[in-house]
Structure 1
Amino acid sequence: MSARQRPVRRIVIVGGGSAGWMTAAALGRALSGQSHAITLVESEAIGTIGVGEATVPPIHEFNRYLKIDQAEFLRATHGTIKLGIQFDGWGGEGHHYFHPFGYFGIEMAGIHFHHYWLRHLAAGGDPDQAPYNLETMAARAGRFAPATRHGPVHHAVHFDAAAYARFLRTYAEDRGVVRIEGKVADVSLDPEDGFITAIEMDDGRTIEGDLFVDCSGFRGLLIEGALQTGYAEWSRWLPCDSAVAMPSEGEGDPAPFTRSTAREAGWQWRIPLQHRDGNGYVYSSAHLGHDEAETLLRARLPGPALADANRLRFTAGHRKEIWNRNCVAIGLAGGFLEPLESTSIHLIQTTIIRLLSLLPRDAIDPRVVARFNRDALHEYRTIRDFVIAHYALANRNDTPFWRDVAAAGMPDTLAERIEAFRATGNILFEPGDLFGPTNWHAVLTGQGVRPQSWHPIADGLSADELASRLGALRGRVAEQLAELPPHIAFLRGLG
């Protein structure tokens, strides 16, 4: 691709939902008062997939960039707090562990706390890590406040995705984004360089643009339908290709965490909102029929269903280029990783921020596009490995699905990470990765990986001093926990 020497002033977003309106809101905020025209095209007849979303903590960075007040955001989206994910049954019936936000303990002498915990464990110490992490203890107790006297309580949110899109639509339109209702019938390409020049609407209207953002969902109307970018799929390691989702009445006060329960052919999510629960069964259609999956989900709902089931089909993977010519794919149009670790909204967010940082002015430069794609695809692969780890280390062989998962193996990049941790206790990660030492430690140890060693600096404390420091850390977490009100009290205080 050669540089296209044309100013980028007209930006056209195709598709609404969370991806489209997050993109529109961010571009509206960034380009407010300039000469850019930002247009979003969507059709009420097509609708969106979102039924309820769980997020990861960086969602707060996005909302802060938009200068959105958290209380206003939670009220508008029926949101609740998420302190982590409870994994049930991934190591067999009755097995459970918690993947929290925040940190285990504190760094000491320049190394991560888990090395000291591993030494403590080898000496016969209590294997329960929870007392060293405030977010885990708060989730167990159903408590939350944004901060204690000692610092923040790390958290993400659950929200109604449709309500979030509506909220951001108002925000974006207030900043000059123009919404056009209708369906795209055709896409016009420049015969010389293959760039998109315009989209043709089914009512005959033509919408021209310089940069197009594809938020059309799995269809990839522009990135694939028009530009035929290609797709790299990971079904070998992530065989789930279907989901059925259904909202239900909640059961009691909403818990401040997401629940993921391993099932016979995949796993089931439960996302508590203020006004209802979001539920879904992610499964492999090679191992379970669609009607049976819906029947099983319905039987396992925490309360009466509030709507008909929403069925989804997908393939884990990503477009071979997220930015192709003058089209950037955001959200499901760019790729999909099942929501086991709640990364869908995050991938939308990081793609938007990456686009903002490299937004072209006078030309679309292939070197900039190459850097964008390199970073975007690296992010997909690192998150992919984290998701695969749950399956690859699952200690289950009770159904054909789990036996096939066990036989599938794992990518070399993941195998290297697991074996390094198993041998040395070291967690291999790069600055900027979404999932760092606390995340990997929680999942790897939660799924039964026990390192054979730890960092030598952890031997620098005497046994008595190590015991004293661990006791002090547990005491500090207990003090912080005592400051936190019930999660439901925090929600009622939003107004």
Structure 2
Amino acid sequence: MTGLDMRKVRKVVIVGRDVAAWLAANALQRALGGTGLTVEVAELPGLLRPQDTLASLPPLENFHRLLGFDAQSLLKSTGGTYTLGQSFVGFSGAAAPFFHPYGSHGGSINNVAFMPFWIKARQAGLNVALEEFSLTAAAAKQGRFFLPTAEMGAFGRLDYACHLKAQPYVQFLKAQALSRGVAVVPLRLFDVRREAQTGHITGLVSADGREVTGDLFIDATGSESLLLGQALGVGFESWSQWFPGNRVLTVSAERLRALPAYSQVRALSSGCLHLTPVQDMTGLQNVYSDADMTDQDTLEATALTAGLRLQADAIVSPLATGRRHVVWSGNCIAVGEAAGSLDPIDNAGLHMLQTGLAHLIDLFPVAADSRLEAQEYNAQMQQSFERVRDYQIAHYKLNRIDNAPFWDRLRAMAIPDTLAYKIELFRARGMVPLYEEEVFVADDWLALFTGHGLMPHGYDPLADMTPDEAAIRHFQNMLGFIRQAVEKMSPHEAFIERNASASLAKTV
């Protein structure tokens, strides 16, 4: 170990704001506080606004559970709702909207996966969409919600996520972290001090002369990346060739009359409109290209498409999709948008923050010299970002929107080899190859591909070992099970009212 710095990491300084800073503080304190590690947040002024909403993916629920958070208490305090997936409207031209459920499609038949049987049946004339064999999709589309049980789980994987109001979520995270002993120091403008020999960060000096020192620094400063990007000079790999939306209009609208258990993405002439329902309002985000739409035109299109009364709180922000070349350099690790910025289309932003924190805990340095941990962490996070990137590109590449220059260009664009191979193999035999650090599992890819109208030419020949009559009975049993299960479920809004309403939280 000659020449290596074997000093232990005693103090972590999280520099940043909002969700990234306080979720990181909770995760590190919960996982490593018992080792004697000190966790301190150098908190920058928050940038979130009352109209900001967040949508998670299912793994965040387990992450919350590991942090000791109760899901219903969290929804009460944040005015949040549950979600069983996403509805995609207008991506396939005149075809019906499709649903990306948080769960599996169908169940295996004679130990063979369901998908080959569905492909075979489609080729024989079956006119039942793949999503009709998803219990989560059926529940969501009928306004129902359920917490998975062992009985329901016998059908297949069932999952859910949540929609949250962003500002109350940060308040919840901050209160939890402070109650666990995380220290906080307010910070505005600051200079970064670095060690001359190694280039490692030694501390931050505020405008009034206060200094914050530590052994390991977490950059949670958002897309500005004030530590990793600006202070350390780590470059940014742009993905604008695949994601032309470079602006985001955010505005709140009136509450939906009945709270759906899903979010919605609507394809517009030059972008996408995202609708995220929470208990007392609807969060809207319109992602568009300023080469195709003005801000005012985008606001008008948002109001017209949403069909809801907008509040006077619209704001436009820049969007630059891509990732840092590395996310761990020296003794600085970027998490959340400081590491990479994603298109909002699949609600993966919170998930990538969570992924970065989970990998960091697994690879937390045993000594100040952390070159090996950094190398492994960077490899894992690069793969994770690229897997999400490919999944999101597929929405745009596979669109079937005719006579729209914005969408025509996207359909014609060159795509990464990893995605091209996935599409080619799926088209050939309905198979989805999964790489290391996949964020979206096979059922997610099946929903995306079939939803966009990509139909395989062949299927796994093992499906031919089951007689057609037997397969048909299995199909009928599955659809019957789904129908009966959904009938027994509570309406989503009633479930929220009984278990997680913000108004109930105020009276307790």
> Do these two structures clear the TM 0.5 threshold for a shared fold by scoring above it?
yes
Partner of 2:406: 401
**Whole-Å Cα distance in 1 between the matches of residues 468 and 359 of structure 2?**
47
Alignment map for 1:432-471 (pairs within 5 Å): 433-471=438-476
Instruction: Give the partner amino acid of 1:450.
Output: M
Contact 1:215-1:333 at 8 Å conserved across structures: yes
2:27 counterpart of 1:22: no
Task: Give the secondary structure class of the aligned counterpart of 1:32.
Answer: helix
Is 1:113 matched with 2:114? yes
Letter in 2 for 1:395: R
- Alpha-carbon deviation of 1:112? 2.5
CA 1:110 to 1:226, structure 2 compared with 1: closer, same or farther past 3 Å? farther
SS at match of 1:401: helix
User: Contact 2:330 / 2:370 at 8 angstroms: preserved in 1?
Assistant: no
| 2:384 aligns with one of 360, 372, 379 | 379
Calculate percent identity across the aligned residue pairs.
31
1:149: how far off? 6.0
Match of 1:304 in 2: 309
- Residues 126-173 of structure 1: CA deviation (Å, up to 9, x unaligned): 232233111111011100120356235421111112111110101100
Distance 2:110 2:470 in 1: 14
Partner of residue 251, structure 1: 256
The answer on whether the counterparts of 1:261 and 1:269 sit within 8 Å (CA) in structure 2 is yes
Q: Which letter does structure 2 place at the counterpart of 1:446?
A: G
RMSD between aligned residues:
1.7
Deviations 1:449-479 (A, max 9, x none): 1100000111111111111111111111122
What SS does the corresponding residue of 1:300 show, helix, strand or coil? helix
Q: What is the match of residue 339 of structure 1?
A: 344
Amino acid at match of 2:426: F
The code of the aligned residue for 1:425 comes to G
Per-residue deviation at 1:213?
0.5
| 2:87 is aligned with 1:82 | no
The aligned counterpart of 1:139 is: 140
2:15·2:43 contact (CA, 8 Å) conserved in 1?
yes
1:429, 1:107 → 2: CA distance?
19
Output the CA distance in 1 between the equivalents of 2:257 and 2:427.
40
Kindly state the Cα deviation for residue 333 of structure 1 after the two structures are TM-superposed.
0.6
- Report whether the alignment pairs 1:150 with 2:151: yes
Are the aligned partners of 2:234 and 2:326 in contact in 1 as well (CA < 8 Å)? yes
Matched to 1:289, the amino acid is T
Q: Which residue number corresponds to residue 203 of structure 2?
A: 198
Q: Answer yes or no: is the 8 Å Cα contact 2:383–2:437 preserved in 1.
A: no
Matches within 5 A, 1:267-346: 267-346=272-351
Q: Which amino acid aligns with 1:85?
A: Q
Q: Is the 8 A contact 2:215 2:368 kept in 1?
A: no
Measured against aligned partners, the alpha-carbon deviations of 1:327-380 in whole angstroms (never above 9, x if no partner) come to 111111110111101000000001001111111132232111111010111010
TM-aligned CA deviation for residue 226 of structure 1: 0.3
Contact 1:250 1:302 in 2 (8 A): no
Residue of structure 2 in register with 1:423 after alignment: 428
> What CA distance in whole angstroms lies between the structure 2 residues aligned with 1:193 and 1:341?
39
> In 2 relative to 1, CA 233–111 (structure 1 residues): closer, same or farther, beyond 3 Å?
farther
Which residue pairs with 1:122 in the alignment? Answer: 123
The 3 A distance-change label for structure 1 pair 31 and 7 is: same
1:53 Cα offset (Å): 0.9
Between stretches 261-270 and 298-307, larger displacement belongs to: 298-307
Q: Which residue type is aligned with residue 298 of structure 1?
A: A
Normalised by the size of structure 2, how large is the TM-score? Answer: 0.94
The aligned amino acid for 1:426 is M
Measured in 2, the distance between the counterparts of 1:230 and 1:147 equals 43
Kindly state the Cα deviation for residue 436 of structure 1 after the two structures are TM-superposed: 1.8
- Check conservation: 2:48, 2:166, Cα contact below 8 A: no
CA distance in 2, matches of 1:371, 1:3: 18
Matched, 1:355 2:356: no
Instruction: Measure, in 1, the Cα distance between the counterparts of 2:250 and 2:321.
Output: 18
**Matches of 1:23 and 1:428 in 2, distance apart?**
32
Q: Is the 8 A contact 1:248 1:302 kept in 2?
A: no
**Which amino acid in 1 is paired with 2:458?**
S
The one-letter code matched in structure 2 to 1:129 is: L
Measured in 1, the distance between the counterparts of 2:424 and 2:441 equals 17
Q: Say if 1:222 and 1:144 are closer, same or farther in 2 by CA, change over 3 A.
A: same
Q: Which secondary structure does the structure 1 equivalent of 2:226 belong to? A: coil
- 286-295 or 355-364: which moved more? 286-295
SS of 2:228 mapped into structure 1 = coil
Deviations 1:201-220 (A, max 9, x none): 12221101111111111100
C-alpha separation in 1, matches of 2:13 and 2:483: 51
TM-score, normalised by the number of residues in structure 1: 0.96
Q: Which residue of 2 aligns with 1:208?
A: 213
Query: Within 2, Cα distance between the matches of 1:4 and 1:302?
Result: 61
- What secondary structure does 1:232 align onto? strand
- The code of the aligned residue for 2:143 comes to G
- The answer as to whether partners of 1:17 and 1:48 remain within 8 angstroms in 2 is yes
Give the Å deviation of 1:98.
0.6
* CA-to-aligned-CA distance 1:113-137 (integer Å, 9 cap, x gap): 1111001111111232233111111
Distance of aligned partners of 1:274 and 1:74 in 2 relative to their CA distance in 1, 3 Å threshold: same
CA contact (8 A) 2:244 2:289 kept: yes
**Which residue number corresponds to residue 73 of structure 2?**
72
Residues 90 and 261 in structure 1, CA contact (< 8 A), matched pair in contact too:
yes
Which residue in the other structure is 1:56 paired with? Answer: 57
1:432 Cα deviation after fit: 5.2
- 1:478 pairs, out of 475, 483, 486, with 483
Note the C-alpha offset of 1:407: 2.6
Deviation at 1:93, TM superposition (A): 4.5
Q: 1:373 and 1:432 mapped to 2: Cα distance?
A: 12
| Residue type of the alignment partner of 1:47 | L
Q: Which residue of 2 aligns with 1:47?
A: 47
Secondary structure at the aligned position of 2:381 is classed as helix
Per the TM alignment, residue 243 of structure 1 is displaced from its structure 2 partner at its CA by 0.5
Deviation at 1:294, TM superposition (A): 2.5
What's the CA shift for 1:426? 1.0
Q: Secondary structure at the match of 1:224?
A: helix
Give 4+ residue runs of structure 1 displaced > 4 Å after superposition.
none
Q: Which residue matches 1:101? A: 102
Q: 2:496 aligns with which of 470, 485, 491?
A: 491
Alignment correspondent of 1:263 = 268
* Structure 1 runs not aligned, ≥5 long: none
Q: Distance in 2 between matches of 1:142 and 1:167?
A: 28
What count of residue pairs does the alignment treat as equivalent?
A: 493
Could you say which residue in structure 1 is the equivalent of 2:11? 10
